[in-house]
A and B are shown apart, each in its own frame.
Chain A
Amino acid sequence: MRSRSWPPGHWCRILVLLGLFWLRWLVGVWRSNLLPASAREIAVPLSAGQLEPGPTDDPNGTIPYLVHARMLPDYLYAFLGVLPYLQARPPGFGQRSHVYRWDPKPDGLCVYYDAARGQIIQQGIEEVRDEDGTRTFHRFTRYAGPQGIAETPQEELGRFMAPISDGCVLKPQVVYDRTLRKFFAIDWSERTVRQGPPLPDDERHRPVQIRNLWRSPQALDVGVRSASREESHKRSVVAQVLLLERVLVLDASGRIDLLDPQTLELVGVGGALPTPKTLVDVSRSRRLDDITAYTVLPLVRRASAADGEPSYAGLAAAALSREGLALRVEVYDPNGRRVATGDTAIPPHTGWPGGRTPSIPIPSAVAAYSLLPGAQFLTVAKFVLESLHPPVLLLFSHLAGPHLTAAAGCRSLALLPDSFVAMAARRGDTRPAERILLALLYIVPAVFFALFLAWRVDRHGVHTGLPKKTRAAWRMGVLFLGLPAYFTYRLTRPQFALVTCANCGLQRRPDMEKCHRCGTAWVVPELIPPAWRVLGEPEPADERAPTQIPQANPQA
């Protein structure tokens, strides 16, 4: 029975996991919709004089600019598989693409990395003026390697092994090679390639993104706007164009380094990606992968009449938490010191029907779990749904969940990186033993539920007379895999028409020699053919008396 039921039961298990996923997702969407608009956005004022030239020591001066960040409402749809896949990979758009620019028009400019040659290639059409002043257009292809640029592919140019480029064609294009551990500056118009000193071969420097620092822009909207004007004024593009003296480099640890594009050396720390305030304190164990979305904007101080050049004025970084319920913005000055922060929160004295009125700001993630109307019901629903998950997968969620990326957590069927059990593993304010104990407490309902299901399966197995080994296998399967295994059993269990045992009176299988309940053998009546007789007539004499054997005639 076991060999015939387990493999075909996979389809059932997949369907049950899918059903549980969609229920959890609905609860997540519902919880996200609980947050009022005021708890979805932050406006952090920039200090006077940070962006504008002029006197900066006026404490009563008006706040000229705000860093405004807002979580977009449909982020939970955005992280479901297909869209991130299509956003990450297509050439020219995706972060994983090696096509840095692609204009499909006949005269369009294309810049891409050719892995076979190990060189970055620029193609396009350029205008050439002859000596007599006539203009001609001709198609060009240029090849850039670590050692220089040429019109033809040459071995002397060297090879980029694992490049990360800034993705935009500003002058110069900054490239970091993870194998060579050097920064390069490609100036296509001057046809030069400069390289910086190699980074120390240790774990302290692992650049992952250059200049445009963002992830999942569909979930987060960040900009710098004027406080005096209502209209939003995004300065990021302007800032990138103006900012020639510093290039932002994101490290795998979440640190934001400053690169001097002239010397191609890291000249300091510009700041760090913020850690949003979630339900549990994860500040001690923060990782880049724990952030669902982020955007970093460099701030540029406008040119004054005196110095005439725009200068680097710090940066503003915004990050969205794993479940998308908390957003944090941090502003750093040019020296990398944090000067302002802001978290999404329910403002104090905000009241609503059926809800408590807080006297202090409540972090949005905490409010979405406990304070807002309906939040507690959703928290219980989330916990119940997680308890329906296979206990063994919950245990693995505790062990492996914190190592999964936030985006992967949104589309995980088997492991639950955003579950309470995984949250316990991410807590930074407790010791490992306490985290394990907490996780076990969270798993207890799931274990009891699995025990209940295993008991039901075992009872049915006893009822239908399954062999002991088969029952034990099903018991263990249901105990470890919970509801999916139980549904598999229900759909694949053997069906028998049972009969009443003559000895014990319980139901027994007719195809077994002994009753599986009391062990009694079949009491099968001996099948003797009935004696035929015709009622009302005397029986023939030969049936009442033994057949008379005719005596042999002694005279014969």
Chain B
Amino acid sequence: MLTLMRREAYDNIVYLVGLGLVAAMLIVVLISAAFEGMQEDYFLPLGLLTFLLLLGLYALGAAQMYGDRANRISSLLTTQAVTRSRVLAARALVGLLAVLAVLLPVVVTAVVLLWAFLPPLDFYRRLLVEIPLTLALTAFACHSAGLLVGWTTNRIRLLAGAVLLVTAVASLLWIKGFGPDVMAVLLLFIAATLLRTWHTFTSTSL
């Protein structure tokens, strides 16, 4: 499994580097916002960078599946001692690790800034759990959507999926805010998307 995951990461290194850059920009904006007194001017760049992050994770998922469909990677791998379920699990785990790797530095930065500029963390402990967890689930939902839509050779479908699904998932966050109810909806979405991808992926002929 580790070999599969390493290979997945290596094949899609461009997307991972891009996501890292977006995370770095988010951190810079957060720091400058904290020192400037969190003006409303910073809401727009923060929102846009978050949307870019979601789009990047969708692109990562779509690239993983699109590359497979185009180059028949899993068809080759199944001739070895690897099943398609394991290949898909490796892809999902790489996406999950990418989400954590991107969001953890942002969350740590935010916590340090809050600790420096606001009251003791006890007062917003719930905030610090709900917001990162909801963001992580949203990001993983976008990656799962990429895995679902990426199993195609139709580029128009890929682009339409990017616009529709990422906007829809991001709008879910915009509508419901952060908290347990939106987390439940996102978990349902992730489970359904991964299950659907698994059905499609494992039942495709060699």
Contact indicator A85/B177 (Cβ below 8 Å): yes
Q: Let me know if B171 and A7 touch, CB within 8 A.
A: no
Chain A residues within an 8 Å CB radius of B164: 15
Query: Residue B177 contacts which of A4, A10, A411, A413 (CB distance < 8 angstroms)?
Result: A411
Partner of B119, one of A10, A85, A91: A91
| Structural contact, B118 and A411, CB atoms closer than 8 A | no
Q: Does A388 contact B (CB under 8 A)?
A: no
Q: Are B175 and A112 within 8 A (Cβ)? A: no
Per-residue interface assignment for chain A, residues 496 to 516, with 1 indicating a CB less than 8 Å from any chain B CB and 0 otherwise = 000000000000000000000
Interface residue? B173 (CB, 8 A): yes
Complex CA distance for A112 and B185, rounded to whole angstroms: 35
Q: Which of B78-86, B89-97, B101-109, B192-200 contacts A (4 or more CB under 8 A)?
A: B192-200
CA of A201 to CA of B46, assembled, Å: 48
Select one of B123, B148, B168, B193 contacting A91, CB under 8 A: B123
**Is the pair A85, B173 in contact by a Cβ cutoff of 8 Å?**
no
Distance of A115 Cα from B195 Cα, bound (Å) = 44
Nearest-Cβ distance from residue B193 to partner chain A, whole angstroms? 5
Instruction: Output the nearest chain A residue to B197 by Cβ-Cβ distance.
Output: A8
Contact of A81 with B199 in the complex, beta carbons under 8 Å: no
Pair B119/A11 contact, Cβ less than 8 Å = no
Q: Which residues of B lie under 8 Å from residue A21 when comparing CB positions?
A: 175
Point out the residues of chain B lying under 8 angstroms from A14, CB to CB: 172, 185, 188-189, 192
**A226, CB-defined interface residue at 8 Å:** no
Do A90 and B127 have beta carbons less than 8 Å apart? yes
Chain B residues whose C-beta falls within 8 Å of the C-beta of A102 in the assembled complex: 118-119
> Which of A92-100, A282-290, A304-312, A417-425 is the contact stretch?
A92-100
- A-side interface residues, number (CB < 8 Å): 34
Contact A80 B192 (CB under 8 A): no
Q: Is B155 an interface residue (CB 8 A)?
A: no
CA distance A159 to B37 in the complex (A): 35
- A89-B126, A89-B127 known; A104 vs B118 contact (CB < 8 Å): yes
Nearest CB in chain A to that of B123: its residue: A91
A9 within 8 A of partner (CB): yes
Cβ–Cβ contact B119 & A99, under 8 A: yes
**A10 contacts B117, C-beta separation under 8 Å:** no
Task: From known contacts A15-B168, A99-B119, infer whether A80 and B196 are also in contact, taking CB-CB under 8 Å.
Answer: no
Determine which of A10, A85, A115 lies in contact with B179 in the assembled complex, contact meaning CB atoms within 8 Å.
A85
Asked whether any CB of chain A lies closer than 8 Å to the CB of B73, the reply is no
Interface presence of B174 (CB below 8 A): yes
A11 contact set on B, CB distance < 8 A? 145, 148, 189, 192-193, 196
Residue of A nearest to B116 (CB): A104
A175 contacts B by Cβ under 8 Å: no
Task: List, in ascending order, chain B residues with CB within 8 A of A84's CB.
Answer: 177
User: Are B118 and A81 touching (Cβ within 8 A)?
Assistant: no
Which single residue of chain A is at the shortest CB-CB distance from B165?
A15
Query: A82's contact among B117, B177, B199, by CB below 8 Å, is which?
Result: B177
How many pairs of A and B residues are in contact by the CB < 8 Å rule? 86
Residues of A within 8 A of B126 (CB): 89
Tell me if B189 and A22 are in contact (CB < 8 A): no
Interface residues of B in 161-206 (CB under 8 A from A): 164-165, 168, 171-179, 182, 185, 188-189, 191-193, 195-196, 199
Most central of B118, B145, B192, B199 by chain A CB within 10 Å = B192
A18 touching B171, Cβ below 8 Å: yes
Q: Given contacts A11-B193, A102-B119, is CB(A4)–CB(B173) below 8 Å? A: no
A210 at the interface (CB under 8 A from B): no
CB-CB contacts of A57-92 with B at 8 A, as 1s and 0s? 000000000000000000000001110110001111
A372 and B196 alpha carbons, distance in the complex (Å): 47
* Bound Cα distance from A337 to B4, whole angstroms: 76
| Contact (Cβ within 8 A) B178 A85 | yes
For B189, give its contact among A10, A92, A97 (CB under 8 Å).
A10
A164: Cβ under 8 A from any B Cβ: no
Q: Mark A527-554, 1 if CB is under 8 A from B, else 0.
A: 0000000000000000000000000000
Interface residue from A92, A98, A413, A492 paired with B175 (Cβ < 8 Å): A413
A22 to B119, CA, bound (A): 37
Q: A1-42: which residues lie under 8 A (CB-CB) from chain B?
A: 4, 7-11, 14-15, 18-19, 21-22
Q: Which residue of A lies closest to B126 (CB)?
A: A89
User: Which of A9, A18, A413 sits near B192, CB closer than 8 Å?
Assistant: A9
Taking a contact as CB atoms closer than 8 A, the residue among B117, B124, B172 that contacts A18 in the complex is B172
CB-based contact B118/A4 at 8 Å: no
- Say whether B192 contacts A7, CB under 8 Å: yes
Contacts of A89 in B (CB 8 A): 124, 126-127
Q: Which of B109-135 contact A (CB under 8 A)?
A: 117-119, 122-124, 126-127
Please indicate the chain A residues that have their CB under 8 angstroms from the CB of B176 in the complex: 81, 411, 413
CB distance from B173 to the nearest CB of A (A): 7
- The answer on a CB contact under 8 Å between A99 and B179 is no
- Please tell me if the beta carbons of A92 and B119 are within 8 angstroms of each other in the complex: yes
A14–B176 Cα distance when bound, in Å, is: 13
Q: B120: shortest Cβ distance to chain A, in Å?
A: 8
Q: Are A18 and B168 in contact (CB-based, < 8 A)?
A: yes
Is residue A320 within 8 Å, beta carbon to beta carbon, of the partner chain?
A: no
Chain B residue at smallest Cβ distance from A96: B126
Chain B residues with CB under 8 A of A114: 122
Cβ of B117: which chain A residues have Cβ within 8 Å of it? 104
Expressed in whole angstroms, the minimum distance between the Cβ of A494 and any Cβ of chain B is 12
In the complex, A110 has a CB within 8 A of chain B: yes
Q: Give the residue among A11, A18, A90 with the most B Cβ atoms within 10 A.
A: A11
Q: Mark A110-127, 1 if CB is under 8 A from B, else 0.
A: 101011100000000000
Assuming the contacts A8-B192, A8-B195, A10-B189, asked whether A91 and B174 have C-beta atoms less than 8 A apart, the reply is: no
What residues of chain B lie closer than 8 Å to A98, measured between beta carbons? 123
A110, chain B: closest CB distance, angstroms: 7
A22 to B168, CA, bound (A): 10
Please tell me if the beta carbons of A82 and B119 are within 8 angstroms of each other in the complex.
no
Name the one of A10, A81, A90, A115 contacting B124, with C-beta atoms under 8 angstroms. Answer: A90
Bound-state Cα–Cα, A90 to B193, Å? 34
**B171 and A10 contact, CB distance less than 8 A:** no
B-facing residues in A459-496 (Cβ within 8 Å)? 492
Which B residues are CB-close (under 8 A) to A80?
Answer: 174-175
Q: What is the chain A residue whose CB lies nearest that of B141? A: A11
Supplied contacts A7-B191, A11-B193, A91-B118, 10 more A-B pairs, CB within 8 Å: A7-B192, A10-B192, A18-B175, A80-B174, A82-B173, A89-B124, A91-B123, A91-B124, A115-B122, A413-B176
Nearest 6 A/B pairs, CB to CB = A8-B196, A81-B177, A10-B192, A85-B177, A11-B192, A91-B123
> Can you list 10 A-B pairs, Cβ within 8 angstroms, ordered by A?
A4-B199, A8-B199, A14-B185, A80-B174, A81-B182, A84-B177, A85-B178, A92-B119, A104-B118, A413-B185
**Chain A residues within CB distance 8 Å of chain B:** 4, 7-11, 14-15, 18-19, 21-22, 80-82, 84-85, 89-92, 97-99, 102, 104, 110, 112, 114-116, 411, 413, 492
